[in-house]
Amino acid sequence: MNYSEKLQNVTVLGAAGKMGSGILLLTAIEMADLSLLPENKGKLFVLNAMDTSSEALKGLMKYLKTQVLKAAEKKVIALRKVYEDRADLIDNSEIIDQYVEDVLFIVRPTTNLEAAYESTVIFEAIKEDPELKVKIFTQINQNNKKSPWFCTNTSSIPINVIDSKANLGGRVLGVHFYNPPAIQKLVEIIKTENADMELVEFANMLAKNLKKIVVPSHDFAGFIGNGHFMRDAQYGIAQAEKLMATASFPEAVYMINKVTQDYLIRPMGIFQLIDYVGIDVCQYIMSVMNPYLADENLHCDLLDKMLEIGVRGGQNSDGSQKDGFLKYEKGRVTGFYDLNKKAYVAVDEFQANCDSKLGNPPASVQPWKAVVGNKKKEEVFVAYFNDLKTFDSMGAEIARNYAKRSKEIGLKLVSDKVAFSENDVNTVLLTGFFHAYGPINNY
């Protein structure tokens, strides 16, 4: 069965979720494009959008229609050739409408898992719960006579654990899309030692057709992305806790967040990134990874405390940021949580004092937005970090130590044989986390 045939009947599990909706969108467009090829004329392509909520599926279909319309408008010239034998389609608007109709025709929203029993490929983007994934995969596998391939979007669970517990015989692959899947270019592909090589070839071809950047990772809990991010977050939390010897909780969090964003020239500070992913999600990913780590304890009591209080972070259904360590109003940071007061403190109350303690970064510093797309950014970073080495301010010292620790984490991922190469680590941080430079560098 070739690539096109494998994609004739597909199911996306968790299709209405944040990750699932993006994976569904990409898959729907790819399947529709295949269905419109002359050699596939008359063949039925079915994409089951499976989720537990009928209401969420309604919202999914609205999202899908909007996004497919945008995609069609961007490639209308190519679509004119696709529909060149359709004399009834004259205007661009008619072609666009027809394409949207063709894509949506493929998608079958459903709350019934049984729909997956006829699929040859299963994409899974459900809750990051190994037991739940195993339970669902086992049920599908036992009832599906087509020996389906499973592509799990897990960001932390070892694939071999899912494979062995669900008795899939190598027919499962980690295909870790980054959030949001429709925009993010990075996909981590993780295979087990006994992985079906046809499945591996299929996943790589799909990623190529979706214009994704593929980074392979060895099958170790957390893989490259979370392998770095979780340890980076743990270090940032530890540094904030150190500062609390002479600063309040919100002040300490503010200073580490500022250093990791402004001094290290990142798109957001480490505590803002934790909020973005979700405090609960970060805590859970650490708990999944920790049992597989022999030489370290990947756990943060502070995350536990925040969740006990009910502060979780994450995003609302419209994509806006929920309050976490930081308070957000209309996309702007307005406060920081105080563990003692159990309330947010306005950033204006302590910002000037904290900035004074940190000191100014070197004059050669540039904001992330200004440097990330700069073709000469290598020269910018060399000059800036050389200047940073000469500064004896509190902020500069924290930044130097943080950069050193970030590099150590990256190198250990390579030496522990999680990442295949230093370049793969850097690619994941550059592409998946939008860093302007990789953690493994000579700055």
Strands 107-110 and 46-50: parallel
Nearest to 177 by CA among 6, 51, 316, 25: 25
Instruction: Extract long-range pairs of 166-170: CB within 8 Å, 24+ residues apart.
Output: 166/133, 166/134, 166/137, 166/138, 166/141, 167/138, 167/141, 168/137, 168/141, 169/194, 169/196, 170/194, 170/195, 170/196, 170/199
DSSP conformational letter for 115: G
pLDDT of residue 213: 97
pLDDT of residue 184: 95
pLDDT of residue 331: 86
| Sequence-separated (6 or more) residues with CB below 8 Å from residue 431 | 178, 184, 185, 186, 213, 215
| CATH class entry, domain 225-432 | mainly alpha
- What sections of 341-429 are H helices per DSSP? 351-358, 368-371, 377-390, 394-415, 422-427
Q: Which two tokens stand for residue 368?
A: 């992330």
Mean pLDDT by runs of 10 across the 443 residues of the chain is 93 96 98 96 96 95 97 95 92 96 98 98 96 98 97 97 97 96 96 96 97 97 98 98 96 98 98 97 96 94 97 88 96 95 96 96 96 95 97 97 98 97 98 97 95
Q: Which two tokens stand for residue 416?
A: 């522990």
Nearest to 222 by CA among 232, 213, 212: 232
DSSP conformational letter for 122: E
Which fold, 3-217?
Answer: Rossmann fold (3.40.50)
SS3 338: strand
| Sequence-separated (6 or more) residues with CB below 8 Å from residue 422 | 410, 411, 414, 438, 440
Could you state, in order of their start, the residue ranges of all structural domains in the chain?
A: 3-217, 225-432
pLDDT of residue 301: 97
CB 151 within 8 A of CB 165: no
pLDDT of residue 316: 85
pLDDT of residue 318: 77
Crossing angle of the two packed helices 279-289 and 270-277, in degrees rounded to 10: 90
User: What torsion do the CA atoms of 73, 79, 83, 84 make, to the nearest 10 degrees?
Assistant: 120
| Sequence-separated (6 or more) residues with CB below 8 Å from residue 23 | 12, 15, 123, 125, 153, 177, 181
Q: How many whole angstroms separate alpha carbon 59 and alpha carbon 14?
A: 13
Nearest to 152 by CA among 204, 113, 189: 189
